[in-house]
Chain A
Amino acid sequence: AQSVTQLDSHVSVSEGTPVLLRCNYSSSYSPSLFWYVQHPNKGLQLLLKYTSAATLVKGINGFEAEFKKSETSFHLTKPSAHMSDAAEYFCVVSGGAAGNKLTFGGGTRVLVKP
């Protein structure tokens, strides 16, 4: 079975400062990993994905994530937060016996202060 743990349920940052959202996963296979963003009462939008190519993955809106197999982590970062980054972020894993079924983390809600 695979699982995802997002280590922070809430993160608060000031506009213009770095953002770090932490994610650890558990999988018996080489997983595919995703970060999605959800604005209030909206669907989910894909930020980036890792699928066994480069371990540093660049996504949309200046986000990037680094896959670290030894640490089973896939943390999401952005060097400078913008007010529009206020949203909920989900770390997601798929692969192995689960095939293309996604397993979601519990989410991290990001607050951006002016």
Chain B
Amino acid sequence: DGGITQSPKYLFRKEGQNVTLSCEQNLNHDAMYWYRQDPGQGLRLIYYSQIVNDFQKGDIAEGYSVSREKKESFPLTVTSAQKNPTAFYLCASSTSSGGSSYEQYFGPGTRLTVT
């Protein structure tokens, strides 16, 4: 069964702690993305990676970090520097990094709550 998995579905952390969200895909996609979704808003791009060992900042990268050591995996770390980390986080992937017509496939999301 091909797809994108994100774990865990729900995550709770205390303020000041770093937390890492997992994203794995078995679609053999080159490009992977992390988005943040806040209530009543569209998605905002945090980081993206077009190829292994390379990634770029999106629109709201401050307070986040990523790595892309394997094609299948693109973990996101929410650091203590992120001022408002509570949100729904979505990972996505796409076939190609070079064309605008390739749709992105989304994982089921991780809801992070920081208190």
| Docked complex Cα distance between A43 and B31 (Å) | 17
Residues of A within 8 A of B22 (CB): none
Number of B interface residues, CB 8 Å? 30
Q: How many pairs of A and B residues are in contact by the CB < 8 Å rule? A: 67
**What 0/1 readout, one digit per residue, does chain A (83-114) give for beta carbons within 8 Å of chain B?**
00000001000111011111011110000000
CB of A45 within 8 A of chain B?
A: yes
Taking a contact as CB atoms under 8 Å apart, the answer to whether B42 and A105 are in contact is yes
The answer to whether A100 and B43 have CB atoms under 8 Å apart is no
**18 sample A-B contacts, Cβ–Cβ < 8 Å, listed by A number:** A34-B103, A36-B106, A43-B90, A43-B106, A44-B92, A46-B105, A51-B100, A52-B101, A90-B42, A94-B100, A95-B101, A100-B96, A100-B99, A100-B100, A102-B43, A102-B45, A105-B42, A107-B40
